[in-house]
Structure 1
Amino acid sequence: MIRVQGACAVGLLAILLAGPAWGESLPVQTQGNVSYVSGGVGDEEMAALKAIQASYNLRLLFVGRDGHYLSGTQVVVKNAKSEAVLDAESHGPYFYAKLPAGRYSVSASHDGKTQTRPLQVGTKGGKQTTFRW
């Protein structure tokens, strides 16, 4: 049996009552018929994203030229008719979306610079791409 006394007991109790950060899931957002999630800041978020990545057919990663992960990247996905089906900000270096199968144009903007790529996604598997600035 382990005994904890005084300030240590109070601190331990506060940690236990707060609950484990790794048990919380990342919030899934929805725009129209597209759901998406972003994050990856810290080990817990990265582990949570890794656990759900197979559920998303578009997986983006944002990295600086120096190799550091980026957050705050604006993502715009347009369908084959050039209609925006998703316009959102990534809250970390990873951005996953569930899109209907088809051809898309994906634009990512960071620090005033935009990169655009054509992508095709299917119903199985997924398309992964990395944007570097």
Structure 2
Amino acid sequence: MSVEDFAELRSQASDYNLKLVLAARGSGAYLADVDVTVRSLPSREVVLEHRTDGPLLLAALPAGRYEVTASFADVLPGARDTLTRVIQVPRSGLVRSVMYFDTGDEVSAESPSAYRLN
């Protein structure tokens, strides 16, 4: 994902009510190729399945409770490769959630500042 693509995605965040950030624990290095499933609660009906191209997943969902499951293959030995969170999407506004995986990835000093977790 280019810096321009990333900036464009970030600028669109106000059009959505769920912003999921996928990053490495410790360094905050952004991750891509994460499989994300969103299920409505209590029915557990799948409302979204997506493999991310970059570190952000934006979604527009009806207000309510959801279970978000994210799976990432490149974790450290013994680390969990699947994380689950329950989130409450409000009637208005944005809910933001960060899911950290134990990968050992570091943020390169050469990485553009646009790629920093904030």
- Bin for the TM-score computed over the shorter chain: 0.7 to 0.9
Structure-to-structure mapping, 1:58-73, within 5 angstroms: 58-65=18-25, 66-73=27-34
What is the rounded CA distance, in whole Å, between the counterparts of 2:21 and 2:45 in structure 1?
23
RMSD: 1.2
- Structure 2 unaligned runs (5+)? 75-80, 102-118
What is the rounded CA distance, in whole Å, between the counterparts of 1:68 and 1:108 in structure 2?
16
Q: Does residue 121 in structure 1 map to residue 83 in structure 2?
A: no
Q: Which moved more, 1:46-55 or 1:90-99?
A: 46-55
- Offset, 1:123: 2.7
- Offset, 1:67: 2.5
1:77 to 38, 47, 59: 38
What is the rounded CA distance, in whole Å, between the counterparts of 2:48 and 2:67 in structure 1?
11
- Offset, 1:56: 0.6
Compare CA radii of gyration and give the structure with the larger one.
1
Partner residue in 2 for 1:50: 10
Indicate the SS of the match to 1:45: helix
- Structure 1 unaligned runs (5+)? 1-40
Partner residue in 2 for 1:92: 54
Deviations 1:69-118 (A, max 9, x none): 10000000000111111111111001100001111000011117110000
What is the rounded CA distance, in whole Å, between the counterparts of 1:49 and 1:93 in structure 2?
10
Q: TM-score, normalised by structure 2?
A: 0.74
What is the rounded CA distance, in whole Å, between the counterparts of 2:92 and 2:5 in structure 1?
24
Higher relative contact order (CA 8 A, sep 6+): 2
What is the rounded CA distance, in whole Å, between the counterparts of 1:86 and 1:55 in structure 2?
17
Deviations 1:25-67 (A, max 9, x none): xxxxxxxxxxxxxxxx231012101211011101011111232
Q: TM-score, normalised by structure 1?
A: 0.66
